[in-house]
Amino acid sequence: MQELIMPFSREESRKIEEANYTVSLEHIGATEEGGQLLDLFDITMDYLDQILIGHKPASDDELTVQTIGARLFGNSAVAFRDILSGYYQAGFILIGDMIETHFLLDYFRSFPGKIKEWKAASNEDRSKNFSPSKIYPQLDARDGFTGERRKKTYQLFCEYARHPTYPSAKLLAKGNIIQVGPFYDETKLENGLFELNKRLGLDSLALGILLRVQGNEEVEKTLAFMGAYGKFFNLPMDKFPAFKTARQLLAIQKSGIVIPK
């Protein structure tokens, strides 16, 4: 696989990106697990598309949550493109943003009254009350987690991706050589796509919980996404209220009743 060469050329850089993308798809799709990851990404993005565009917000809070979801959709699409094109650090930076997004959405699940407060908050108040360091201790306390797992995960992505630290250069290296521009690395590709699907799915689950399931198509796509995500990551989806609701609505749908939007 080619690496970027001097002098810089937009056209040559684009050719390398496209070549990396093609080879990356072939490599990932060559294994059963890789093919499942690609399918899962498509299913999850289709679900997001449905609940962001096809879903009619029932309240101002739902509209606010959909706004966060629009950011998630864009970040996920770009992260996928970057990872397959050979910009691994750029992809992981966006995955780090998705971790922070999940904290916020999960916090709103337990404290829905905070959605309006977050929306209206000044930059100072938002940093004071809704920053990750303020939220994840409350989530850990809610879930009875010890060991600061959320904090450690967030700090790991900050150090190795989101912030300009020397350890973050590892995501730019092929072997011991720092690469300038897009390059092809199968380990970074596989890890990046796995982590992207994991975080995208968690964010989508949290987003879906905050939106009341509506309409036959949304029911079907909710079940398709949650079923695929639960199967790949071995998660008991029955514990999620949205999954239970969707299954109940599917039974109604099969009886011939049209579920209103």
b/e per residue 249-260 (b: at least 16 CB within 10 A) = bbeebeeeeeee
Give yes or no for a contact between 116 and 61, defined as CB atoms under 8 angstroms apart: yes
User: Which residues on neighbouring strands pair with residue 177, listed in sequence order?
Assistant: 174
Cβ distance 82 to 198 under 8 Å?
no
Task: Specify the DSSP element, H or E, that contains 178.
Answer: strand 177-178
Q: Is 116 helix (H, G, I), strand (E, B) or coil?
A: helix
Mode of pairing for the β-strands spanning 177-178 and 173-174: antiparallel
Q: Lowest-confidence range among 29-38, 94-103, 243-252? A: 243-252
**Please, which pLDDT band fits residue 259 given cuts at 50, 70 and 90?**
very low
Mean of pLDDT values over 34-54: 96
Give mean pLDDT, residues 66-85. Answer: 97
pLDDT, residue 6, reads 54
- Per-residue pLDDT reduced to its tens digit, 123-157: 999 999 999 999 999 999 998 988 899 999 999 99
Checking if the pLDDT of 258 tops 60, the result is no
Instruction: Flag whether pLDDT at 247 surpasses 70.
Output: no
Residue 188 has pLDDT above 90, yes or no: yes
pLDDT at 217: 84
End-to-end alpha-carbon separation of the chain, Å? 49
Cα separations in angstroms, 76 against 8, 39, 156, 173, 245: 28, 14, 19, 23, 26
- Torsions phi, psi of 173, nearest 5? -100, 140
28-37, 171-180, 202-211 — most confident range: 28-37
Per-residue confidence (pLDDT) for residue 249, from 0 to 100: 60
State the Cα–Cα distance between residues 194 and 220, nearest whole angstrom. 25
CA dihedral 105→106→111→112, nearest 10 degrees, is 40
Q: How far out from the chain centre does Cα 85 lie?
A: 18
Average pLDDT, the chain: 89
The pLDDT tens digits for 81-98 are 999 999 999 999 999 999
- Read off the tokens for 209: 């919980």
